[in-house]
Structure 1
């Protein structure tokens, strides 16, 4: 191999030809025969849909993110609307310094057609304001379906003001899908950046040159281990992460009833008047209703079988209980990060949610 440093066009990692067991490996002939170079891992993901997880050090990616503060650039944060709190980068304002922030709320294609987009945008603006964040603009879009991409591109061109553009986000928020959509619609190129549903596909920064000498930089996804989607095995991700518009499942519950979400989490309605609970989770995820008095025995008998994923319950941390009092004067969502949310009714009540220890479970004002 020559002294010239090659980088994978798919994930950004430095190419090496010596050790097939290590990241970045490419057979020596590939460097001689091809203009575009993809490491073996990216090649297998792209052509065989082979999922290849890697060990990730979250601190390294956060350090790379912090380097943006030393630049003069536009920062575009891509967030996953399906898992907004779980796809938010904590302390983003500290990492990017004085650079302006453009917020792209991705995956609107998963939301019901009846969604009132104006209200949802107001919800987002209020949410980030409470975090002390004031983006230059908020764009609702779908990189996967190409929805509102023209609006996103116009906003980037407007706010970058002839500067570099750093695209940041957590793993699986859709950063690389977004950049591929830009390349397809603007440069008429096929998919360049490797994408997959498994966290950590982009391993290093990928620079895409612009006509004015500046660049769009796709950065590695920030790892958040407080999401259920980070804990399930690759073979179960298609059940947990939605790809089609959500079909809300409505349950009229009396108190002392339980909902199981596969074998990943459960909600017990402990006390309160009969009311509706609307579940916004992947259409492929099995939701089971039973009486609270039977719930423990049902879980013990069916965990990893009828109640799956996971196929092996031992792969997840033990469950932890979270208790919430529903005030009754406004609709609220109970969010299980990486899994979805449960929209509660307007009745007062007491709810307990069980999820693997370390997974974020929070209450927020209703998003829909």
Structure 2
């Protein structure tokens, strides 16, 4: 009977089914922990108290199984994207998962954007980019789950759209969904039930249900893994260094044709041809940027990758996939961003033609877009 009771219990932090038999498998918790009022698995305990994380086995089919069920519900879907990594955090194919349910698009981590940015322009930009990807959201909101910015407006908008329906929070890994859920729970007065958050992919392992006062529920879903994000290729230590934690301070480099910028050891920007112009770099503030001549770039990379050009660090540098070149022509049609998924972007003014090569690890998405800022 006790075992049956245990099998019905889920971790309050990540949603996984709890078990007491195998420490190596997801959901393990010591039997003594079952006596607590709020029970979390050992993995969530270590994330919460020691900032440690253990990888878990959850494949794409598991994620799709959870998302596929949303289309059969009558609900409001809140899709969370990371404003710092919009391209990498876009949940592809969302309309086919959600059916006719209304979608609220939420741009999280607004606190990381440069100080003087026009937020109305950012909202319009998000609306435009969503439309380009075939999504017509009911509304677009900007928030910071970490700082509590925009949460009141978000809750009001969810209330308007909900009309007695369930709410599903969806998004890829590391967009801040669980932090957002915790913020909402605090505002609802349910601070004793915190969802486990961490900067690592795959923290929420199953759908977490939060009952609402009208008998419906708020659901936190696992993050879908976008494997073209650079964060999935580095160690937790390096991921912390790549992930911004404070407002981005753009770095401006006046480049001549034939110059190169190394973004630590994770990417390389070659100004192949064009007039002298500024390259504005938006990456984590403490990420090392090295300027050199394009003619010397291969030699510099071979000699200093993993040391001067870090992260990645030493042994991890050998495990990174080989660099792949992506070539772009920037036409004089206004400001343009060259985006490296999970790392950041470089902005050019687009006042004169420029030919630029971007080198990034194989498998990392690299693209061009209308400038965010």
TM-score class, shorter: over 0.9
* 1:313 equivalenced with 2:317 (yes/no): yes
> Is the Cα–Cα contact under 8 Å of residues 53 and 198 in structure 1 kept in the other structure?
no
Q: 1:255 aligns with which of 249, 254, 257?
A: 257
**Secondary structure, in 3 states, of the residue corresponding to 1:3?**
helix
- Alignment-derived partner of residue 201 in structure 1: 203
Distance 1:127 1:247 in 2: 24
Q: 2:340 aligns with which of 336, 339, 349?
A: 336
> Is the Cα–Cα contact under 8 Å of residues 46 and 194 in structure 1 kept in the other structure?
yes
- TM-score norm. by structure 1 comes to 0.98
**Secondary structure, in 3 states, of the residue corresponding to 1:15?**
coil
Deviation at 1:109, TM superposition (A): 0.1
Counterparts of 1:215-294 in structure 2, within 5 Å, are: 215-294=217-296
Distance 1:151 1:139 in 2: 8
> Is the Cα–Cα contact under 8 Å of residues 78 and 103 in structure 2 kept in the other structure?
yes
Deviations 1:292-315 (A, max 9, x none): 111111111100001011112122
Distance 1:185 1:307 in 2: 43
> Is the Cα–Cα contact under 8 Å of residues 38 and 193 in structure 2 kept in the other structure?
no
CA 1:329–1:180 in 2, change beyond 3 Å: closer, same or farther? same
CA 1:51–1:284 in 2, change beyond 3 Å: closer, same or farther? farther
- Alignment-derived partner of residue 20 in structure 1: 23
**Secondary structure, in 3 states, of the residue corresponding to 2:147?**
coil
**Secondary structure, in 3 states, of the residue corresponding to 1:2?**
helix
Counterparts of 1:31-42 in structure 2, within 5 Å, are: 31=34, 33-42=35-44
Distance 2:176 2:367 in 1: 23
> Is the Cα–Cα contact under 8 Å of residues 325 and 350 in structure 1 kept in the other structure?
yes
User: What RMSD in Å do the two structures reach over aligned CA positions?
Assistant: 1.0
Distance 2:271 2:61 in 1: 39
- Alignment-derived partner of residue 185 in structure 1: 187
Distance 2:331 2:284 in 1: 27
- Alignment-derived partner of residue 4 in structure 2: 3
Distance 2:87 2:193 in 1: 28
Distance 2:302 2:284 in 1: 24
Counterparts of 1:353-364 in structure 2, within 5 Å, are: 353-364=358-369
> Is the Cα–Cα contact under 8 Å of residues 260 and 294 in structure 2 kept in the other structure?
yes
- Alignment-derived partner of residue 110 in structure 1: 112
- TM-score norm. by structure 2 comes to 0.97
Q: 2:174 aligns with which of 169, 172, 188?
A: 172
Deviations 1:307-339 (A, max 9, x none): 011112122111110000010221100000000
Deviation at 1:29, TM superposition (A): 1.5
Distance 2:200 2:113 in 1: 22
> Is the Cα–Cα contact under 8 Å of residues 168 and 220 in structure 2 kept in the other structure?
yes
Distance 2:342 2:363 in 1: 12
Deviations 1:125-176 (A, max 9, x none): 1111112211111111100000011000001111011110000000001110
Structure 2's unaligned 5+ residue stretches are: none
Distance 2:246 2:217 in 1: 32
Distance 2:285 2:75 in 1: 39
Deviation at 1:190, TM superposition (A): 5.0
Deviation at 1:188, TM superposition (A): 5.3
Distance 2:218 2:371 in 1: 35
Number of equivalences: 367
The answer to which of 310-319 and 280-289 deviates more is 310-319
Deviation at 1:120, TM superposition (A): 1.1
Structure 1's unaligned 5+ residue stretches are: none
- Alignment-derived partner of residue 160 in structure 1: 162
Q: 2:299 aligns with which of 294, 297, 307?
A: 297
Distance 1:231 1:55 in 2: 16
- Alignment-derived partner of residue 50 in structure 2: 48
Distance 1:326 1:186 in 2: 48
The answer to which of 268-277 and 345-354 deviates more is 345-354
Deviations 1:88-124 (A, max 9, x none): 1101000111111011110000001110111111111
**Secondary structure, in 3 states, of the residue corresponding to 1:300?**
helix
Distance 2:65 2:92 in 1: 13
